[in-house]
A and B are shown apart, each in its own frame.
Chain A
Amino acid sequence: MQGICHVVLAERGHLRPGMFVVGGDSHSRTGGAFGCYMFGVGATDMAGVLVTGEIWIRVPRTIAIDISDPLPVGVSAKDVILHLCARLGMGGARYQAIEYRGSTIAGLSMNERMTLCNMAAELGAQAGLIAADATTASFVRAVGADAGDYRDWQSDPDAPVSQTHKVDAATLAPHVAAPHSPANSAPVGEHAGVTFQQAYIGACTGAKLEDLHMAAAVLKGRKVADAVHLLLAPASTRTTAAAAADGTLAALTEAGAILMPSGCGACAGYGAGVLAADEVCIASTSRNFQGRMGANSSKVYLASPYTVAASAVAGHIADPRDFLQGDDT
């Protein structure tokens, strides 16, 4: 077990700008962060690709999402995508390809770009794409791959787009999506005070190294509230190793986080952390459909690693900005 494929592909240099890639999971859209055209298919489709080397695709139209200005302290890519889920609706992208662009994107790390492209799935997009730039190239080279002519993989200036949505990142608050849909998201204040038994930092979209850094920025020197347990399932074994080496893992476990194996885990209803009847969880995962994470009567709130960590300390849903004042994070 090396971890969740979307993160493993990236960290082992298998994704390079300009590739056309399919993966066997709906969150395979994550690869769009690398200037690849990547989308998810089922296992039978994958078998077909292995046998023939070919696949069909209905060519999608394009939605442009322009995001400008840097994200405020305590606000992350997860908050941007949860905001978009509420705005466009579940499946609102209707099989189109989303291109995320603008000054916010230019300033985002690859981990954060992966979160945006990953959850293009929740918008019902065929793919979520970010044009390759120097940030992409330096990540790809750092994992031992060739970034090639990465500057070539840009949208034409006159390429038609079906819709353009603008997001002002500077005014964006941390977001929380209430049960049972990512589209039920609203600024964290609307859910403040909701109590839960479990906090979960895991999944392809919420447990990459930088996601762990976000959680640690809140949890370092603090303790998880007595009434809750915090589960931590890093997205890959390399993530766990890197977090151990840089002190992040110690900060999280000393705060009370329980370390678990890397994998899709409870996000998809498998293994430890699956919810019992009537249990409530706040999770850094991507989906909170009824019954997804366990019992039909369980409930899942989705949020960023910052917000999950802050809520775990508070014992109820809490605004992470109150825990990060003065921090340079």
Chain B
Amino acid sequence: MTGKAHVFGDNINTDVLAPGIYMKPPLEIMARHCLETVDPDFTGSVAAGDVLVAGENLGIGSSREQAVQALQHLGIRVLVARSFAGIFHRNALNFGLMAVACPEAGKIRAGDWISVDADRGQLTNQTRGENYACERLPEPLLTMVRDGGLVAHLEKTRGGK
């Protein structure tokens, strides 16, 4: 998985990812407001296959899954952060969105081309020619993400029942 990095700081919360006042309209409308509080240009510049990079505690706050769905809708394919808030991390994996914790995420700059090898727990910054070690997810979670998330995984492993 290779994509262009969009870089954010620490404590990016679920209210800026999925603002409460846009929870009732359809997802595509809410997604237009994803992260506008911290970067009004984000939704205009993000493209399919891009990588969202953040500092500590990405996704602190609510359990709302729309925080993940909005990013997916906009085309984000991988999340990289120095650390994740617990529920947001689970939600991302449950929706089949790879989310890897990387202590060196702070070395990535906006626009860098990043490739993530989640199976090996390695991230490559192609723009800078650097490799960063990241936390390798346990095998059952890697399998779930590969299957497309929790629902798809349960359908597969439980015969669609």
Q: Of A39, A47, A91, A268, which is within 8 A of B60 by CB? A: A91
Asked if A90 and B63 sit within 8 Å, CB to CB, the answer is no
Q: Is A48 an interface residue (CB 8 A)?
A: yes
B-side contacts of A269, CB under 8 Å? 15, 19-21, 23
In the assembled complex, the CB of A228 is this many whole angstroms from the nearest CB of chain B, namely: 22
Asked if B91 and A26 sit within 8 Å, CB to CB, the answer is no
State which of B46-54, B70-78, B82-90 sits at the interface with chain A.
B82-90
In the assembled complex, the Cα of A268 lies from the Cα of B19 at a distance in Å of 9
Asked if A90 and B60 sit within 8 Å, CB to CB, the answer is yes
Q: Which of B36, B62, B83 has the most CB of A within 10 A?
A: B62
In the assembled complex, the Cα of A218 lies from the Cα of B16 at a distance in Å of 35
A-side contacts of B122, CB under 8 Å? none
A-side contacts of B124, CB under 8 Å? none
B-side contacts of A68, CB under 8 Å? none
State which of B106-114, B126-134, B148-156 sits at the interface with chain A.
B148-156
Q: Is B13 an interface residue (CB 8 A)?
A: yes
State which of A75-83, A245-253, A285-293 sits at the interface with chain B.
A285-293
Q: A289-B13, A292-B15 are in contact. Are A44 and B151 (CB under 8 A)?
A: yes
Asked if A42 and B61 sit within 8 Å, CB to CB, the answer is no
**Chain B count of residues within 8 A CB distance of the other chain:** 34
Q: Is B94 an interface residue (CB 8 A)?
A: yes
Q: Is B146 an interface residue (CB 8 A)?
A: no
Interface residues of B in 90-130 (CB under 8 A from A): 90-91, 94-95
Q: A51-B154, A269-B21, A296-B37 are in contact. Are A45 and B94 (CB under 8 A)?
A: yes
Q: Is A194 an interface residue (CB 8 A)?
A: no
Q: Is B11 an interface residue (CB 8 A)?
A: yes
Asked if A41 and B15 sit within 8 Å, CB to CB, the answer is no
In the assembled complex, the Cα of A25 lies from the Cα of B85 at a distance in Å of 14
Task: Please name the residue on chain B nearest to A267 by beta carbon.
Answer: B20
Asked if B90 and A42 sit within 8 Å, CB to CB, the answer is yes
Asked if B37 and A90 sit within 8 Å, CB to CB, the answer is no
B-side contacts of A292, CB under 8 Å? 15, 19-20
Interface residues of A in 28-64 (CB under 8 A from B): 28, 39-45, 47-48, 51-52, 56
Asked if B15 and A44 sit within 8 Å, CB to CB, the answer is no
Query: Which 10 A-B residue pairs are closest in the complex by CB-CB distance?
Result: A269-B20, A91-B57, A289-B15, A42-B91, A292-B15, A44-B94, A42-B65, A26-B63, A269-B21, A291-B19
Interface residues of B (CB under 8 A from A): 11, 13, 15-16, 19-21, 23, 36-37, 56-57, 60-65, 68, 83, 85-87, 90-91, 94-95, 140-141, 149-151, 154, 158
